[in-house]
Structure 1
Amino acid sequence: MIKRLLTPELVITLQQLEGIGNKTILSKIGGNISAPISTLDELSSLLTTIKGKKFESISNYDLIEANKCAKRIIAHTEEEGIGIITYYDSLYPEILRNCKNEQGKLDPPLVLYYRGDIKILEIPGIAVIGTREPTPNGIKAGEFFAFEFAKRGFNIISGLAIGCDTTGHKGALAARGLTTAFLANGLDWDSIYPKENLTLAQDIVAKGGLLLSEYPVGQSCGRYGLVARDRLQAGLAYATIVVQTGVKGGTMHAVNATIASGKLLFAVAYRDSADSSHEKVQGNLMLVQDKGAHPLKSTGIDDAIFQIENKHKTSLQPVQPSLFD
């Protein structure tokens, strides 16, 4: 178990300091802590021991103001019924400590805001992702595979976007299984994006699922956040299923992170010629031909699970519906 070297309040305080990013906190600051730090004075003393102009320029006034901001964020978070865990907490999912970005560099989230049951992250996850504009058969495929994998014990992970993400969440809920949505915005209901899926987000929480984000309440969704969260979907999952994607679709961010992490990648294979020739399926074909993705058919679910279990040396347990009554 990782020692809680910093309290959430102090971690969020550091995030408010100009020029101090998550990677700096994890490597430069966290790497210099030898014993738990729980007060602002202790943090101030630590910062004076770290070499570098950015640390030397931090005044006590800067730290106090950053701490005031952190306290406001935490207060607003608690008012919304949202929880906070950081890299230094025992509830932090171990699999995310090894989260890699598209370039294959370690890039775990420092702070996670959550709404719902955080303990479902102990269940093996599988990412179900793809285009926002799937074909009718793509919608059916996404819901089918999410349903089947959820029924067999997976936590279905996606990003709440319209299209394939929605099929993943809905398929899991239809199976009375569990699903996690990684968002690129705050988890207060006013900030949920896209607005069309607000009811779905509420349904996920109501039925035992989870919403996750790196961003505090009130944070709107931006392009950078959407790209950054793709690594987290792949990072939290044992494997990734691409329902449908074009060759240059945004889905490729999560695909690249999956490949860089050495995790299993599956791409749904379509029998219908109208689907296999569709622009939004050409990425599936490319992933199988050029990137080593495994083609996934409706008859290949058990084989896919065998591959996942073998790679991760784990045994999945089927969902017990009575748990979610």
Structure 2
Amino acid sequence: MGFMDDVIDRLCEPGSYESVYHSPKRHAPMPSVEVLTEVVSRLRAVLFPGYFGHSEVEAESMRYHIGTNLDKIRRLLTDQINRGKCFVCVAENRDCTKCEDEAEETCRAFIESLPELRRLLVTDVMAAYEGDPAAVGPGETIFCYPSILAVTNYRIANRLHTLGVPLIPRIITEMAHSATGIDIHPGATIGEHFFIDHGTGTVIGETCVIGRKVRLYQGVTLGAKSFPKGDDGKLIKGIPRHPVVEDGVVVYSGATILGRVTIGKDAVIGGNVWLTRDVPAGTRVLQTPAGEE
């Protein structure tokens, strides 16, 4: 087994691991995917009581059910937010003595936003039910539809992102991405009554702005056209580079819309269309059939 010692020695050389090693400071390790999975599961039980978590939730036991979950969420999520903040402090070589206090304040603000979060999700559930003739009821969309799973994770993550939480929001949206194939960046802005039909392969970029009553189908990409670099040769991050999709737009399967373009209100974008320009309100953009000019 002498070869093992040689491999261990080589893997322990600082030059080998320094770019892929996280050294925790102040006893704050990396966020835990397992714990965040529990947090999201408990949030789902709070937002959709009876569908997730304990199935036998009556009106008389609702307060206990929600209160028990929220107490656990508060403790787990505060710790995870603290870990996320410390991760950034370590990466940027900053003092993180305020991370714990900030994590508690942020978690409180997040929990206070849950009634509004549920209101938004109710509109998404109704969009899924009303937009899919195959849906037998809103409950089916809550329990079965990948769109509702992905959008629930997105709305949770987006609220944390808006509150300035690093790392955690991306972990939460990537959970849904892995489960559904729907990739929504937590920084995107999405209005109420939003539905992704089928969903697999849908991509929504960081700076997308999506209005109310928008419907997307599978394989839709709302992406960036280019990635500008600064004088130092590094990518310029955070600039608006993804589409603006106004109220009432429908984008059919396989369509690709790139860059900071605007798709006007009530426009319809056909399947497999490639767009890098603005589309006026009410316009129908269709792929030219083969053999036609």
| TM-score (norm: length of structure 1) | 0.27
Pair member with larger Rg: 2
Higher relative contact order (CA 8 A, sep 6+): 1
- Structure holding more helix per residue: 1
